[in-house]
Amino acid sequence: MAYDARAIANYLIDRAAMDGETLNPMKLQKLVYNAHGFCLAALNRPLIDEEIQAWTYGPVIPSIYHEFKKYGSGGIKEKARVVHFEDGLKYRFITPSIDSYPNAQENQETRDLLDAVWESFGDLSAVQLSNLTHRPGTPWSVTVEQNPGRKGINIPQDRLKEWFAA
């Protein structure tokens, strides 16, 4: 089962807050990107239910970009929310959460993975994390190299899995 990327982002926002840190959008992007790659490699399943795209300045998860771009390079002040439409014109806002998914064992594996990613990469700055994704041979750099001049190309899941497994 793959999660809404905003549920993963919300978990990482909470995890950072536990350590007294506020994430900015770029650092959040890179943390979710790394978590997705490690989930593919270690648990043999995708973490998020959308493709990661190769944009000009690095790998991007579009829903996270659009949700948090209002913060620019500043700290994210609130978690992602989505509109849930009910009967007719009724709607309510929902804060996506890992715990709203039905598989408790998989949810715990996901939290453990995200905690490990936070412990490994949480101390790095957004720029340091970005530099890691831009090295030669990374899934992003290979995708950009193979598609010159094209924007918004999906980074293949198998390329991510292979990179993070190594």
Give the global pTM: 0.95
Q: What is the structure's pLDDT at 1?
A: 81
Enter the tokens of residue 93: 């806002």
Tokens coding 66? 């659009």
Domain extent listing, the chain: 5-165
In angstroms, rounded to a whole number, what is the distance separating the alpha carbons of residues 46 and 9? 15
pLDDT at 159: 98
- Cβ proximity of 15 and 27 under 8 Å: no
Other CB atoms within a 10 A radius of the CB of residue 110 amount to 23
Residue type for position 9? A
Q: pLDDT tens, 89-128? A: 888 899 999 999 999 999 999 999 999 999 999 999 999 9
C-alpha torsion sign, points 152, 157, 162, 163: positive
Confidence band, pLDDT 50/70/90 cuts, at residue 141? very high
